[in-house]
Amino acid sequence: MKKTRLISILTALSLSVSVLLCGCNDGQQGGGDVSDNSQSSSSSSSSSSSEEMPAEPAGLTEIRDMTTMELVHDMGQGINLGNTMESCGNWINPDGGVRAYETAWGSPIITEKVIQGYAELGFGVLRIPVAWSNMIAEDYTISEEYLARVTEIVDWTLNSGMYAIVNIHWDNGWFANFPTEKEECMKKYTRIWEQLSEAFKDYGDKLMFESLNEEGGWDSLWNRYSGSTDGKADSYGLLNEINQTFVDIVRKSGGNNEKRHLLIAGYNTDVDLTCDEMFQMPDDPADHCAVSVHYYTPSTFCILEEDASWGKAKATWGDEKDIEELNKYMNMLKERFIDNGVPVIVGEYGVAQKNKTEEQIVNFMCTATEAMYDAGLCPVIWDTQKSFYDRLSYQFLFPEMLERIMESRDAHK
């Protein structure tokens, strides 16, 4: 599957076009020592191609007779390939090719063993954030080299038995320009999804597209903390329009995309804002859409490692008030979406770790995971190199946490 799909994707591209938790300083430190990993990647690809491939997992080339709710439930426990293909920055030298971007924010070169390691630990879905603007042409033609590398990782993911979710991530922040440069931004957005839809149209339902990351909400139009509703309808309306455009592009592209299961980004992927009645799921003739939210609540615990101007860092979590807050947000998602037949994927949740004990990290992650399963949601951990999984040793760094979240998964099958 790997070689034939890669060739067909590059051919399709050439025919169809003539087309939060990491900083730059860390990325510069992480982008150097990759030669051994690169050799490992090369030898892994070479050896795997010469060996007899196992039977193809279901869903690689077909759209099965499943509702999106059933498919999302089948995903089980998810994890992100974070700070990797979505790494970006004007300081990155494009002469270094894909490798320069892939390693810029601290990840080693991804190999098939890295991906297989996730699957062997029990993960059922890998979210692959991507910055498609990296190496993109002025007319928004995606780099063939960049697309080929993402395709390779997608193929490894699907061949391991996991689902794959591919999106447009933060991508150096161009989504912020939508309110003032809507025509040009929509042109870029459309061009990217037209190319991706063409490239992956023959893939089965184990590949899901996600409309965008958490940038779908604009303070320049409406600030939730302003105390005013002025501009609120405009900001929600813009996101709803982008999500509808996404669905329309994919559906008209043919192949398996006519019925592919799609993930629709909520308003800033914030639970409260996405549950607002102004957020609307797009019209979809296939009725194959889920909604995406992220959960980093409370942010003073999940995001801050030291005090900031907007909050005091918390090192502990789990009192009665914390549990009530968690359950409140899970119930909101259940009542607004699950109870109305719309599946929910929590595409990111996690904890900044430097100011916290292992006990506190494990307690939050396991409690949150259990609450998500109780509400009928699919949890997808935000992970970067050595946050939870070590991409060099293929080991999960918090064994108790892994055991408990997989027990929660199994209890809700």
Q: Which residues are catalytic?
A: 214, 348
Long-range residue pairs from 306-311, CB within 8 A, at least 24 positions apart, any chain: 306/355
d(C-alpha 104, C-alpha 224), whole Å: 33
Q: How many CB atoms lie within 10 A of CB 7?
A: 11
- In DSSP terms, 345 is beta-bridged to 292, 378
Q: Is 274 exposed, middle or buried (0-12, 13-18, 19+ CB in 10 A)?
A: buried
Please answer whether residues 103 and 404 qualify as being in contact, where contact means their C-beta atoms are separated by less than 8 angstroms: no
CB-based contact 297:303 (threshold 8 Å): no
Token code pair at residue 194 = 């037209």
CB 369 within 8 A of CB 408: yes
What DSSP element (H or E) covers 411?
helix 399-411
Per the rule left: phi > 0, alpha: psi between -120 and 50, beta: everything else, 73 is: alpha
Helix, coil or strand: residue 134: coil
Tokens of 211: 């409309």
Please give the Cα distance from 228 to 234 (Å, whole number).
Answer: 13
Q: What's at 199, amino acid-wise? A: A
Token pair recorded at residue 374: 């109780």
Tell me, rounded to whole angstroms, the distance of Cα 202 from its chain centroid.
Answer: 21
How far is Cα 38 from Cα 195, in angstroms, rounded to an integer? 28
CA dihedral of residues 322, 323, 324, 326 (deg, nearest 10): 90
